[in-house]
Amino acid sequence: MFFERPDSGGEEAILVHVDFPEGANREDLNEFRELVISAGADPVDLVTTKRDVPHVKTFVGKGKVEEIAEAVRMHDVSLVIFNHALTPSQERNVEREIKCRVLDRTGLILDIFAQRARTHEGKLQVELAQLQHQSTRLVRGWTHLERQKGGIGMRGPGETQLETDRRLLRERVKSIHARLEKVRAQRNQSRRARKRSDVPTVAIVGYTNAGKSTLFNALTQAEVYAADQLFATLDPTLRRLEIDDVGEIVLADTVGFIRHLPHKLVEAFRATLQEAAE
């Protein structure tokens, strides 16, 4: 949805990383590179800077935005990816200055999830998270229809179109919520049945691409999709397994973790993550 790649090869991108002090804003640079490559992008340059706190308007500050713009012109790219969550206004402000599409860390992870989703439930969960993320940025897609300034040629249905778009988006979000509630109810029912049968459940949890699915396949002879890439697994898989001195257990393969997983994804994948929590 956010990462429209050309047919030939990966889309070239400039990466932007801010080295913050230890705290909520700090992100890992190596992990960022892995995420970008997992999304199918081709990083051609890296712009880094140090800050104590994000710049309110552009996240990185005026001078650094000019440096990014220069890198965009030099490499002739159409995408800049930030290793941080930007506000909608910061995203728009940077795009306006550098004349190039900007994707933040949340949008990047959402794109990877969209590529990896295989089951109906997984696709619904990803779409929900994408729509919720997009709703705050909706105005960006309709700037050519703004009619707030008035004047000749500036009156018309622009605001109506934007409101229509918002309403359609809200209705779609509501529909997906309802369908995921059914999935959640089915999962709860299955979980209660397992509890009644007194079969213990063991979940394999850990960082994404740590080898959870490979271990799961080795233990259960299952053929769960496993690959050397971030978020290869988005849907939990359950298999019964006989263990010496313990008896029968249910083993669960789960979605991997990552630093600062977007809240919208955690919320959308609540039914899936519940398997690990239980």
Q: Out of 47, 79, 103, pick the residue that ends a domain.
A: 103
Q: What is the mean pLDDT of residues 20-41?
A: 87
Q: What pLDDT score was predicted for residue 158?
A: 53
More confident residue, 4 or 48: 48
Of 133, 144, 148, which Cα lies nearest the Cα of 1? 133
Strands 201-204 and 247-253: parallel
The closest alpha carbon to 265, from 131, 86, 98, 164, belongs to 131
With respect to residue 263, please indicate whether it lies within any of the assigned structural domains: yes
Last residue of a domain, which of 103, 138, 168?
103
- Does any domain span residue 213? yes
Q: Is residue 126 part of a domain?
A: no
pLDDT of residue 154: 47
Is 85 inside a domain boundary? Answer: yes
CA 60 to chain centre: 22
pLDDT digits (tens, 9 = 90+) for 198-246: 888 888 999 999 999 999 999 999 888 888 888 888 878 889 999 888 8
For 169-192, how does the pLDDT look when each residue is reduced to its tens digit (9 = 90+)? 888 989 998 998 888 888 788 778
* Full domain range(s) for residue 51: 12-103
User: Residue 227 is encoded by which pair of tokens?
Assistant: 């690959």
Domain count, the chain: 2
Mean pLDDT of the chain: 83
Q: Is residue 97 domain-resident?
A: yes
Residue 198 backbone zone (phi > 0: left; psi -120 to 50: alpha; other: beta): left
Q: What are phi and psi of 91, to 5 degrees?
A: -60, -45
Q: What is the CATH number of the domain that holds 98?
A: 3.40.50.11060
Residue 171 forms part of a structural domain: no
Please indicate, yes or no, if residue 160 is contained in any of the structural domains.
no
Does any domain span residue 183? no
Rounded distance between C-alpha atoms, residue 42 and residue 51, angstroms? 26
Domain boundary residue, one of 83, 103, 123: 103
Task: Summarize pLDDT for 112-133 with one digit per residue, the tens.
Answer: 888 888 788 888 888 888 888 8
pLDDT beyond 70 at 2 = no
Domain containing residue 231: CATH number: 3.40.50.300
